[in-house]
Amino acid sequence: MSKRKETTTAPKPLEEYIRPFDSLFEKWNQREGFRRYLEGLLLPTERNKTLTGLANTEPVVGAQHRHAQFLQWLLSESDWDERKVQRQRLDMLLEDPLTAPTGHGVLVIDEHGDRKAGTHLAHVGRQYLGNLGKVDNGVVSVTSLWADEGIYYPVDFEPYTPADYFEKGEKDPGFRTKLKIALELVNRAVQAAIPFRAIVADNFYGEDRSLRKAFRALGLGYVMALKPSHDWWHQEGTPGSLKEVAQAAGWKSTDQPGQWVKVERTFRDGSKQTWWALEVKAGPYGPEKTERAVIATTDPVTLPDLTTWYLVTNLPAPGSTDAHQSTMLSASLEEVIRLYGLRMWIEQSYKQVREALGWADYQVRSDRAIRRHWQLVCCAFSFCWYHHSHSLTDQIQLPESSWCQMASQQEQAPEEISGDGEKNERLRGRSATSLLASCAARGESLAGTMDHAAALLEGLVYTAPTSCASAVP
């Protein structure tokens, strides 16, 4: 058997990360393209990570350049299996002690919409784009990712195809709602042997009773948001919604909190914030019932929209009958808050980092090509953790020739983030790059790849979520 043709070596840490993927590419040009594509995604640049941007050619006209055409071929025509790359990427994350998931973390389900022009792109259509907070022409993907207080990374993704693509619309057997896709992604995570304490999602998913029932049937815990107006059948004169329960909880002052329990949340920069939690005992919810509802807020009087969470969970309450019978560990109020709090920092930083790697910058039309681009972005994201894990030091240190500009040098408590899990809760007026380090490439042509990977990781770790939540008597 003849020896495989050698590829142009990538910078050492990236080359070491890529080597285990080589067996998934039969042809030399596939292995070569895989390296060049990841290099392009990881290199700092003022341009979008389009094909011409990755190939460093002139926009529009440069699309016909052989380097841009080579990357186009890798996505659209080459015969490699994106799902095998997905499996290899996850295997490497699971095997690395730094990134190996544990039962302390969560599986976050969310969706992301990218505005796109035209009508010939797969999955494109006029639909609600959550990150824009409005209906526009674009492509929506449902994603899953694993997270704990210090580490988070993409697990899987699936594009949502609007109903008008199908002959029978929403009644067509091939049509999948976002809720159905979410359940599919959770099943994939379970099949991949990824442990997690609970599934976490916003109120789009939390309000769907059938989805929650499906999670319970799988024996999986969840902590998901509900709307403040979430209600149930009730007798006249008794609270009939979550917000009414909060208002009737007997709050008078911090010394006379009524049914509210004080919780101290501690953030990575050492700052603390006082929250108040309430175990709902009304309607279908309660410590001894199938589901619990928990309300958490910074102000029980005004219940501010931005810092009030209305949550539903099936994790048993400590001391309850279910706590002794369930296979799931019980969860105190502070534990429920901790778990949902992991989602909020992902909203603030994960998506910006993903966009900095060019998630929405693809210039391809087919479903297969789009999936391949997204998978390569996930590989680039995962490499940042690999690079840190295999560095010589335990602390993240940027190379001397790189420089960082952060939007804020103090990690902020989540007042900026909508607490009820609404889709329009994105940070306003803050670009992806404003939350990330911008690094100057140095020396040799590709050395900046390593600088940028370290800088991206610096942004990831600096905006990590709350490290603990402890109840205060």
pLDDT digit string, tens, across residues 265-322: 987 777 889 999 999 999 999 999 999 999 999 999 999 999 999 999 999 999 999 9
Output the pLDDT for position 370.
Answer: 96
What does the pLDDT look like over 29-62, one tens digit per residue? 999 999 999 999 988 877 888 888 888 888 888 8
Q: How many CA atoms lie within 13 A of 400 on its CB side?
A: 1
Task: Give the pLDDT mean for 58-83.
Answer: 92
Provide the token pair at 405: 């500009």
18-27, 242-251, 416-425: least confident range: 416-425
Question: Stretch 127-150: mean pLDDT, rounded?
Answer: 90
- Give 331-388 pLDDT, tens digit per residue: 999 999 999 999 976 776 566 677 789 999 998 999 999 999 999 999 999 998 999 8
pLDDT of residue 133: 84
Q: What's the pTM?
A: 0.85
| pLDDT range class, residue 459, cuts 50, 70, 90 | low
Check residue 405 and give its pLDDT: 27
State the pLDDT at residue 25: 96
**Is the pLDDT score of 407 beyond 50?**
no
Which residue stretches of 19-139 are H helix? Answer: 28-42, 51-55, 66-76, 82-95
Beta carbons of 86 and 93 less than 8 angstroms apart: no
CA distance 47 to 53: 6
pLDDT computed for residue 47 by the predictor: 82
For range 154-178, the mean pLDDT: 94
How many other C-beta atoms are found inside a 10 Å radius of the C-beta of residue 56? 15
Tell me the mean pLDDT in the region 94-112: 94
The single residue listed with the structure tokens 């020739």 is: 401
List, in sequence order, every beta strand (DSSP E) within 106-197. 106-115, 125-129, 134-147, 152-160
> Which of 49, 5, 7, 47 lies closest to 376 in space, CA to CA?
49
For the stretch 390-424, what's the b/e string if a residue is b when 16 or more beta carbons lie within 10 angstroms of its beta carbon? eeeeeebebbeebeeebeeeebebbebbbbbbbbe
For residue 190, name the pLDDT band (cuts at 50, 70, 90). very high
Proportion of the chain above pLDDT 70, given as a percent: 81
Please choose, from the candidates 160, 39, 58, 167, the residue with its C-alpha nearest in 3D space to the C-alpha of residue 111. 160
Cβ(448)–Cβ(43) under 8 Å?
yes
Please, which residues bridge with residue 135 across strands? 128
Query: Quick check: 449 pLDDT over 90?
Result: no
- Residue with the bigger pLDDT between 195 and 356: it is 195
pLDDT at 399: 34
| 411 neighbors 271 (Cβ within 8 angstroms) | yes
